[in-house]
Structure 1
Amino acid sequence: MKRDLDRLGPLGRYSLVSDRISRSVIGAYSTSFGLATRLLGSRHRDHVRNIYALVRVADELVDGVATEAGIPAEQQHRMLDQLEADTESGMRLGYSSNPIIHAFARTARDSGFADELTRPFFASMRTDLQTPSAGDSAAGAEERVGFGQKEHADYVYGSAEVVGLMCLRVFARDESYSPEEERTLEHGARNLGAAFQNVNFLRDLGDDTQRLGRSYLTEEGTVDDRTKERWIVAIREQIAAAAQTIPLLPGDARLAVLSALRLFSALTDSLAQTPAAELPRRRIRVTGPHKAALFFRTICEMRMGAKR
């Protein structure tokens, strides 16, 4: 590592260190996405990790870390506003004194996106700060905030679909697509982001409703078997829409995206088999061996297809 840094100028050194800090964030928070990024081509890998790191920092701010640190709700709003302002400044200038923002800003500039994607993201994060748990660790189920259909759609667009679009900009930055292909790819990226988010809403049902006072899937604050099945159908439709666009992705992105898609498809199958009453009590997971087998099978299929 020291030898690599010695060959760089001051900005290059800082940028490399910033990328490595972002890499450590995804490694600490998500084994699944961390593994999936390793399947990306080297030209994409750090960019996707940089996106994840900034998203995670914002998510932690609104999901209870600041509250646990004793930060009052009003101050949390100011901190989120400052994070957004610093992100926009970093994207505009190509530099930030915050390494996570610096890494993200470089990715945004290299991939051709700016605040048209970050502003909806921060708007959704701001929505989370409206829930009773913001600044109040004693918030309970009786204060739960429910999301109707429009509120859910708006929230998911900002919190997940735009992240899919950011990753798509990374994958497509050196490619040439027709306008129709771009629309198809964007449709797939949005659906994949929405599917990931909706799966996690079902997986995190207990934490979201009991600790955070949020009900992302219903206005009533509860999910019964009929409601769960409706969301399973929607998620499977989103996964199917995303799967159709994978052949359009550059070759060094397809394996990682398909592996992540299949992982969440497996999670969806497990959620479908789990009674709704159990979801608040345990988080559905894919076991390590099952995950490894799924990824290995996908790698083999992709390699066999490339040889034909």
Structure 2
Amino acid sequence: MSPLTTTELDAAGVLEPSLRTAYRRCREINARYGRTYFLATRMLTPAQRPAVHALYGFARWADEIVDDQGDGRTLDQRRAALDELGADLATGFELGHSTHPVLAAVVDTVARYDIDRGYFADFLASMRMDTEIREYASFADLARYVRGSAEVIGLQVLPVLGTVTSRAEAEPHAAALGEAFQLTNFLRDVGEDLDRDRIYLPLDELAAFGVDRAHLKHCRDRGHTDRPLRAALAHLVSRTRATYRRARPGIAMLAPVSRPCVATAFVLYQGILDEIEAADYRVLDHRVVVPKTRRLAVALPGFGRAVLARWA
């Protein structure tokens, strides 16, 4: 265990050896798969970070079950594994502890921060939808999936971040930020999702510009984003930016020590939309990323604000 990780766990009051191992595993998962998210967590206080890593680790663990990783498992086997994860989590909540390599940290985090257990049921329900539903007719149809896959993530993290208002007042903005992040992912990953036979962009929004599944596949196969698709994606980028605007007021409602982290994630994730536009909406043939130089340009001032907030 690195000295930095030890410092975080000590600050969080995580002392039991097996529990420290679980939190460390979650931190490794976050560092490996959530580069932008992990960078932002470095701005939190050491005591806050393990809980955020645990929540991310759980979400990623479930996502790995759902997505085809070339392991040969059938859909029924994935559903069974997801059900088993949910049962293990419920047992952990009931007992107050778990021996699972990731759930042990999750159960501990939920108890420490009094996080609503129902958020995890909602999340797992959306993960199961990924094994059953391949496309969504409208934003209204997509709403249930986004609620469980994204909005509840913001709501899970909110108690860890803390607020200067009532939690209830901040919750709609936290949910909106989770939604904005998810919609951004949908736009960035449309090509990869199509390869998995999934479309998360509402079909009626695409159809308004003359785009359907066959059109998407044609553009994917050719590695070309044509005019109708660019127009559809531009419309959806604009809609996603409106969701960020709904989320923005929530940043000022957070505890001062947490604002630099969320503000940095807010800017960096919107930066993905900027990169989509800069690439002329070529998201079908390559994955756009925020350049490292820009990530650092945003993150470094954030680190400075985070340090000042801790001393305020």
Mapped contact 1:88–1:114 kept (Cα < 8 A): no
2: CA distance, partners of 1:24 / 1:300? 25
1:70 equivalent to 2:60? Answer no
- Structure 2 CA distance for partners of 1:24 and 1:305, relative to 1, 3 Å: closer
* Structure 1 spans left out of the alignment, 5+ residues: 132-143
Matched, 1:90 2:89: no
Shift of 1:64: 1.0
CA drift at 1:84? 0.9
The one of 170, 183, 206 equivalent to 2:168 is 183
The offset of 1:51, in angstroms, is 0.2
Show CA shifts across 1:241-268 (max 9, x none). 2221111111221111111001012111
Give the percent of matched residue pairs that are identical in Structure 1 and Structure 2. 29
Distance 1:307 1:165 in 2: 27
Whether 1:206 and 2:196 are equivalent positions in the alignment is: no
- Distance, in Å, in 2 between the alignment partners of 1:306 and 1:72 is 49
What secondary structure, in the 3-state scheme, does the structure 2 residue paired with 1:48 have? helix
In 2, the alpha carbon distance for the partners of 1:90 and 1:125 equals: 20
Which one-letter code corresponds to 1:24 in the other structure?
A: E
What is the CA-CA distance between 1:21 and the residue it aligns to?
1.1
Say if 1:192 and 1:239, in contact at 8 Å, map to a contact too.
Answer: yes
Deviations 1:173-213 (A, max 9, x none): xx6744xxx33311111111111111111111111012x11
Counterpart of 2:157 in structure 1 is 167
Farther off after superposition, 292-301 or 87-96: 292-301
Superposed, 1:210-221 pairs within 5 Å as 210=195, 212-219=196-203, 220-221=212-213
SS of the residue 1:262 aligns to:
helix
Question: Where in structure 2 are there 5+ consecutive unaligned residues?
Answer: 204-211, 217-227
1:149 to 116, 139, 143: 139
Deviates more, 1:185-194 or 1:291-300: 291-300
Structure 1 residues 12, 2: CA separation in 2 closer, same or farther (over 3 Å shift)? farther
Out of 296, 299, 302, the residue aligned to residue 292 of structure 1 is 296
Asked whether the equivalents of residues 151 and 175 of structure 2 are also in contact (C-alpha less than 8 Å), the reply is yes
Residue 42 of structure 2 corresponds to residue 38 of structure 1? yes
Matching residue of 1:15: 19
Counterparts of 1:106 and 1:307, CA distance in 2: 28
Alignment-mate amino acid for residue 218 of structure 1: P
Give TM-score scaled by structure 2 length. 0.83
Query: What is the CA deviation profile of residues 101-154 of structure 1, one whole-angstrom value per residue up to 9, with x for unaligned ones?
Result: 0101111111112431011101110010114xxxxxxxxxxxx63442222111
* Greater Cα shift, 213-222 or 153-162: 213-222
Quick one: which amino acid aligns to residue 24 of structure 2? Answer: R
Aligned to 1:192: 177
- The CA distance in 1 between the partners of 2:248 and 2:15, in whole Å, is 39
Residue matched to 2:122: 120
The alignment's C-alpha RMSD in Å is 2.7
Alignment match, 1:140: none
In 2, Cα distance between equivalents of 1:63 and 1:176: 38
Mark the CA change 1:306 to 1:233 in structure 2 (over 3 Å): closer, same or farther: farther
C-alpha distance in structure 2 between counterparts of 1:176 and 1:91, whole Å: 28
**Offset of residue 279 of structure 1:** 1.1
Counterpart-to-counterpart distance in 1, 2:34 and 2:169: 28
Q: Deviations over 1:76-106 (max 9, x none)?
A: 1111011011112212222112120010111
TM-score of the aligned structures, taking structure 1 as reference length = 0.84
Question: How many residues matched?
Answer: 284
Deviation at 1:2, TM superposition (A): 10
Measured in 1, the distance between the counterparts of 2:112 and 2:169 equals 22
